[in-house]
Amino acid sequence: MSDLTHYIGGARVAGTSGRFADVYNPATGEVQSRVPLASAEEMDHAVQAAAAAQPAWAAVNPQRRARVMMKFVTLLNRDMDKLAEALSREHGKTLPDAAGDVQRGLEVVEYCIGAPQMLKGEFTDSAGPGIDMYSMRQPLGVCAGITPFNFPAMIPMWMFAPAIACGNAFILKPSERDPSVPLMLAELMEEAGLPKGILQVVNGDKAAVDAILDHPVIQSIGFVGSTPIAEYIYGRGCSNGKRVQCFGGAKNHMIIMPDADMDQAADALVGAGYGAAGERCMAISVAVPVGNDTADRLIAKLIPRIEKLKVGPYTAGKDVDYGPVVTAAAKQNILRLVQAGVDQGAKLVIDGRNFALQGYEDGFFVGPHLFDHVTADMDIYKKEIFGPVLSTVRAQSYEEALGLAMSHEYGNGTAIFTRDGDAARDFANRVNVGMIGINVPIPVPLAYHTFGGWKKSAFGDLNQHGPDSFKFYTRTKTITSRWPSGIKEGAALNFRPME
């Protein structure tokens, strides 16, 4: 068993707090390494190193900063298999899913190559006699990101790539459950030409998070995780005068209209509901067929597809559909909520509670579950399960289905499957959810649009990646300049309007 490190000042640095967390192989249940948990003093050391390096990096012109991103993209493609294997080993994802994790982060890095365009200011010539006005976007200084276990490559890159392209230094506090890939990304960024100290990786738990929230040098914080922690980070960070964006939980609904292609809808639900063992904030966890006939047809299509799912370790090959969940505690929470669903009267159509994989009995595998006749007062409907569990809530009308998505406290993503353009257009216009799919089950926008939910799924007024990221990681400064010509007329003591 090996000890992992932090990454500070351009080098891997051993922890000094004396505290560690175990990093498991989710497929076997074995501890494969330990990760150090930073103290406030260690966090301060990383922040001071970042603050010392940042002014010189901010002075580098945006085009040269973009060239670092270009090289980083090349290195990500070079090391794709190595990164995916390390990610699968600690998270449990299949290798294709792990490579997709890296790829979706890489696409945001590609977008950040356009930093020179995104950082251009505005200019007004002759706003008044001899007066010009212009604005410039300037970096914040030292920024920080607190990222979750379920996307250990993608979400860190969603944060640090635009922050660094804008001229900031960045402190990354990744999940302590799968920290190896973030450390590898920091090394690749420096291989791409990033100066030492601009990207630091500091591993830790709540002590490290609180040190970020309270540190006076850190100017902004990004977070992705559960809603209770998002609320805590947003409140404490904002009260300390920081710019904060937090993305929390989800309960994503997919409405299936009677006219939908039922095979297409069933395939979409299986992929969106069970991919990555359901450990996605954009997973579809609630199917809402409209009408009992639609529901019966949908369930009949889902059952054989779900029963054919292959669950196993990433080492079993690329035909594995999904792997284990990340920890034993996550597995127990999923099974507890499944039992609550049974106890509260939902019909468990497919029961994965007794799933066992020969040779991996100690792994954190959870079989697929399918519920029917779920109602809005049940725990499996109200709470984010974050596991391979799909709940079916039967609606008797389009308005009832729309109302379910709109009345839920979470508003991350939703989808509708239909052949009716008018219904799709009405749904997209009316539903109070941040990301909408029309015959698309997981509507994660591409890198040049922005990602963000509504309601209790997001806190803050700017989304992740896309144009919003360049606004979040910069401040706008506006300059009014005057170069008068001719003989000076003396001081003007009154406030004079523009002529």
**pLDDT confidence of residue 496:** 63
Residue 130: per-residue pLDDT: 85
Q: Say if residue 286 is in the same domain as residue 381.
A: yes
Residue 483 has what pLDDT? Answer: 84
The closest alpha carbon to 454, from 437, 436, 472, belongs to 436
In degrees rounded to 5, what are phi and psi of residue 418?
-165, 160
Report whether 84 contacts 95 (CB < 8 A).
Answer: yes
* C-alpha–C-alpha distance, residues 344 and 315, integer Å: 38
In terms of domains, do 227 and 296 share one?
no
The C-alpha atoms of residue 132 and residue 135 are separated, in whole angstroms, by 10
In residues, how long is the chain?
499
The whole-number average pLDDT for the span 462-470 is 96
Instruction: Indicate if 241 and 288 belong to the same structural domain.
Output: no
The answer as to whether 300 is a domain residue is yes
Q: So which residues are the catalytic ones?
A: 281
Q: Is 49 exposed, middle or buried (0-12, 13-18, 19+ CB in 10 A)?
A: buried
Examine the domain organization and report whether 351 and 299 are in the same domain: yes
Whether residue 384 lies inside any domain: the answer is yes
Looking at residue 299, what is its pLDDT?
98
- Domain of residue 291 covers 252-438
| Residues 94 and 63 both lie in one domain | yes
In angstroms, rounded to a whole number, what is the distance separating the alpha carbons of residues 360 and 450?
Answer: 40
Residues 131 and 263 in one domain: no
Q: What tokens appear for 117 in the block?
A: 């365009």
State the Cα–Cα distance between residues 405 and 421, nearest whole angstrom: 19
Q: Are residues 76 and 138 in the same domain?
A: yes
Is the pLDDT at 202 greater than 80, yes or no?
Answer: yes
pLDDT of residue 486: 60
The verdict on residue 447 lying in a domain is no
177 lies in some domain = yes
User: Is the domain of 345 the same as that of 419?
Assistant: yes
Confidence tier at 46 by pLDDT (50, 70, 90):
very high
| Count of structural domains within the chain | 2
**208 in a domain, yes or no?**
yes
CA dist 35 and 2 (Å) reads: 9
Q: Note whether 223 and 179 are same-domain residues.
A: yes
- The stretch 394-416 carries a mean pLDDT of 98
Report whether pLDDT(236) > 70: yes
Q: Is 92 left (phi over 0), alpha (psi -120 to 50) or beta?
A: left
Report the pLDDT averaged over residues 241-251: 97
Domain assignment of residue 9, yes or no? yes
User: Is residue 368 in some structural domain?
Assistant: yes
203 with 130, same domain: the answer is: yes
Question: Is the same domain home to 350 and 204?
Answer: no
Written as one letter, the residue type at 6 is H
pLDDT at 491: 66
Torsion 226-400-376-352 (CA) sign: negative
Task: Give me the pLDDT at residue 499, please.
Answer: 53
CATH code for the domain in which residue 67 is found: 3.40.605.10
Q: What CATH number does residue 256 fall under?
A: 3.40.309.10
Q: Does position 487 have pLDDT exceeding 90, yes or no?
A: no
> Using an 8 Å Cβ cutoff, are 35 and 176 in contact?
yes
pLDDT band for position 318 (cuts 50, 70, 90): confident
Contact 401, 290 (CB under 8 A): yes
Those residues whose C-beta lies under 8 Å from the C-beta of residue 278, and which sit 6 or more positions away, are 285, 385, 386, 387, 388, 389
Q: Mean of the per-residue pLDDT values for the chain? A: 96
Rounded Cα distance, 91 and 87, in Å: 6
- Rounded Cα distance between 277 and 271, Å, is 10
Count of beta carbons in the 10 Å neighbourhood of residue 415: 30
User: Do residue 244 and residue 256 come from a single domain?
Assistant: no
pTM of the model: 0.94
